[in-house]
A and B are shown apart, each in its own frame.
Chain A
């Protein structure tokens, strides 16, 4: 094998390794998420009434796991409220799943005029977030589902309008 071929082969292998490494290390791939348990889940809302997440199927769903003791969670919620207000009419639906004490969640939701459904859970909601791909169990954790219920995006940590808008542009 000539030296030039060896060098070309080396470059090709490095490219494959780099791309492969990026692919392996990037955000969890949506295909790895089993969204069935999320859509099937029934949790109490702020009034205590049971709500099944799958009832909102057919809309572009943003399912956000959060808690009032989690500063990055609280930072993103006002932006969710704005986006729900602006894009709700086009079929966008945020859903919050709070892993927290109901009274604290109610107070925060009232103070921040949250305009989308909030459900409350404990161990069941933790397991739900893990089934939705939240391996480390950190918050906030958010998944975006298209109108057919397929997960198109997963996010650890805080989100903002700049990140979400391009995703919604493709889905709404």
Chain B
């Protein structure tokens, strides 16, 4: 057996790196990876990719948009999974991934940036809950929101 320095280094990395990663809780942005798109002139779609061992509460999502002249409708959630705890009883939660449709019920003449604001909250099975997290996505639009040209 010949133990060259490179082999030793590789073995060190194999031992050290996973043990570091496994014991750390993820930052909320990594536990609940957010993305958003404008899938039609009247509908935003928000997607969260949820890390293994983490979940998000259905009733703690909030969505808003700027500028204020634009009005969002009721978000369309898929069915969640039932989660039970002794304090809040049964709640619907999402694991793995959730895609939420957010209709735009009243548009406005927009030329420039509109910002979708998403607030969410989730927990880790290992026993911590994250503070509500706000994430945003900017869209560059030309024209009215009812029939926008999406430039970015």
Contacts and interface: CB of A to CB of B under 8 A. Distances in A.
B79 interface: no
B28 interface: yes
Interface of B: 1-3, 8, 11-12, 15-17, 19-28, 60, 85-88, 121, 123-124, 126-131
Contacts of B3: 6, 9-10
23 contacts: A13-B11, A14-B11, A18-B15, A21-B15, A21-B20, A24-B20, A25-B23, A67-B131, A69-B129, A71-B129, A72-B123, A72-B127, A72-B128, A99-B131, A136-B26, A136-B28, A138-B25, A138-B124, A138-B129, A139-B128, A139-B131, A157-B128, A158-B127
B129 A72 contact: yes
Taking residues whose C-beta sits less than 8 angstroms from the other chain, chain A's interface range is 35 or more
Contact of A73 (B8, B20, B28, B129): B129
Given A3-B1, A10-B8, A71-B88, 11 more contacts: A9-B3, A20-B16, A21-B15, A24-B16, A24-B20, A26-B23, A69-B121, A70-B129, A72-B129, A137-B27, A139-B131
B14 to A, nearest CB: 9
A156 interface: yes
A163 interface: no
B24 A25 contact: yes
Interface of A: 3, 6-7, 9-10, 13-14, 17-18, 20-22, 24-26, 67, 69-75, 99, 126, 135-141, 156-158
A14 B15 contact: yes
B16 A138 contact: no
B127 A7 contact: no
